[in-house]
């Protein structure tokens, strides 16, 4: 599962450093915020369906569909030669992350005991972090040494390898719960099929703490260029960010199993606030990359803990939908962050600090929510 996730995350993350410049060359420099926002829009919309299908058809079919979308979309980027076609393809590409991670998290929750859930989610996060670190670095290298089309086809190839790995796995959804796929399963008959109320708390924290991720993904390519990180160094921010995230997940993967989910989330949120402050103040590449490292440490603690907390609160028979609810909040946070960042930035370097300050306020709101939650549950 970790190998499949590594390949999947590499597949679509390797595109990120090059897409803003590519869109600019197509004449769409004013739409940079939509690169992430449209991707997350369809990912968020598809979550209720992927969650329901994971609980009825199976975890593996949901993962296979997500990887298949990634594989197909990679081949079509070279043909998206207008702004409309490019943005339409980003919209379709989002279905990949709407399905694959939902099935993955449910699969992991099925096979890991409660007392090691945080550790397992941390290890899964390590695989994702390696993919996120290696992907942008490899993508920039391929684009510089070969061509953008080579980059797109390699992205598609990695998604295909992820599909091959999934073919070696055994379905974990009990046979008594499985149903053959039918179009009726895509009909949502109640609000509870969209939102799992048991996991409201982790969903709120996910939305507020993932808002900065969408903002950062939107402005980092331009901020990197303004600070002199060009060519093969364009993906250096992502490498520092995901490298730090990887290290902390290896070292502190069991932290939430030992100390509790909420205390770890409080600490990770404080680290994220400090990192975003550095990004807002960055006038040089070293300060900028220091912010990337701190952000990686904060999110490296934050993400697996949110996964584990979501699974803790979910009912076993609605685990797919609970995970999907958390992911809907994730996509909303990332999408809103990307849209606001694109609007605030407006291709003006002097506006970059304001983008990161909006992210600081979002994480602070999440931190306050966690403190209120802790006091409420303690009482």
CA dist 233 and 137 (Å) reads 8
What is the chain's pLDDT, residue by residue, as a tens digit (379 residues)?
889 999 999 998 888 888 888 888 888 887 777 887 788 788 878 888 888 888 888 999 999 999 999 999 988 999 988 989 989 999 999 889 889 988 888 898 888 887 787 778 778 877 877 887 788 878 888 888 898 899 999 999 999 999 999 988 989 888 888 888 888 877 776 666 667 888 889 999 999 998 998 888 888 888 888 888 876 676 788 788 878 887 887 777 678 888 888 999 999 999 999 999 999 998 898 999 999 999 999 988 888 888 888 888 887 777 778 878 888 888 888 888 888 888 888 888 888 899 999 999 999 999 999 999 888 887 6
Give which of 188, 191, 186, 216 is closest to 62, Cα–Cα: 186
Read off the tokens for 358.
């909006």
9, 158 contact by CB (below 8 A): no
What domains are there in the chain, each with its CATH number? 2-167+194-378 (1.20.1250.20)
CA dist 296 and 213 (Å) reads 11
Going by the DSSP 8-state scheme, the letter that residue 60 receives in this structure is H
347, 225 contact by CB (below 8 A): no
Q: Which residues contact 272 (CB under 8 A, 6 or more apart)?
A: 209, 212, 294, 295, 298, 299, 302, 363
């Amino acid at each position: 599962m970790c190998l499949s996730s590594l390949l999947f995350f590499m597949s679509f993350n390797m595109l990120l450093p090059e897409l803003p410049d590519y869109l600019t060359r197509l004449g769409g420099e004013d739409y940079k915020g939509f690169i992430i926002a449209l991707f997350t829009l369809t990912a968020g919309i598809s979550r209720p369906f992927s969650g329901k299908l994971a609980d009825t058809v199976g975890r593996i079919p949901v993962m296979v569909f997500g990887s298949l979308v990634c594989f197909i979309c990679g081949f079509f980027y070279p043909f998206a030669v207008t702004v409309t076609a490019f943005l339409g393809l980003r919209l379709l590409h989002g279905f990949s992350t709407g399905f694959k991670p939902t099935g993955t998290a449910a699969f992991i929750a099925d096979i890991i005991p409660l007392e090691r859930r945080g550790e397992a989610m941390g290890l899964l996060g390590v695989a994702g972090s390696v993919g996120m670190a290696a992907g942008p670095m490899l993508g920039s290298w391929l684009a510089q040494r070969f061509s953008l089309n080579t980059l797109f086809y390699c992205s598609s190839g990695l998604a295909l390898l992820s599909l091959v790995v999934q073919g070696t796995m055994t379905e974990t959804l009990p046979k008594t719960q499985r149903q053959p796929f039918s179009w009726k399963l895509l009909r949502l008959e109640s609000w509870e099929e969209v939102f799992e109320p048991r996991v409201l708390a982790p969903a709120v924290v996910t939305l507020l703490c993932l808002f900065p991720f969408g903002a950062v993904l939107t402005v980092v390519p331009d901020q990197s260029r303004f600070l002199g990180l060009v060519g093969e160094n364009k993906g250096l921010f992502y490498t520092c960010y995901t490298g730090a995230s990887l290290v902390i997940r290896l070292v502190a993967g069991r932290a939430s199993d030992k100390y509790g989910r909420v205390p770890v989330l409080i600490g990770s949120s404080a680290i994220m606030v400090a990192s975003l402050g550095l990004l807002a103040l960055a006038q040089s590449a070293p300060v900028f990359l220091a912010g990337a490292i701190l952000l990686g440490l904060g999110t490296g603690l934050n993400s697996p803990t949110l996964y584990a907390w979501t699974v803790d609160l979910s009912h076993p028979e609605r685990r797919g939908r609970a995970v999907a609810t958390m992911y809907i909040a994730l996509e909303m946070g990332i999408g809103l962050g990307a849209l606001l960042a694109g609007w605030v930035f407006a291709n003006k370097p002097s506006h970059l600090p304001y983008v990161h300050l909006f992210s600081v306020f979002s994480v602070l709101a999440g931190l306050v929510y966690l403190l209120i939650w802790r006091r409420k549950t303690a009482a």
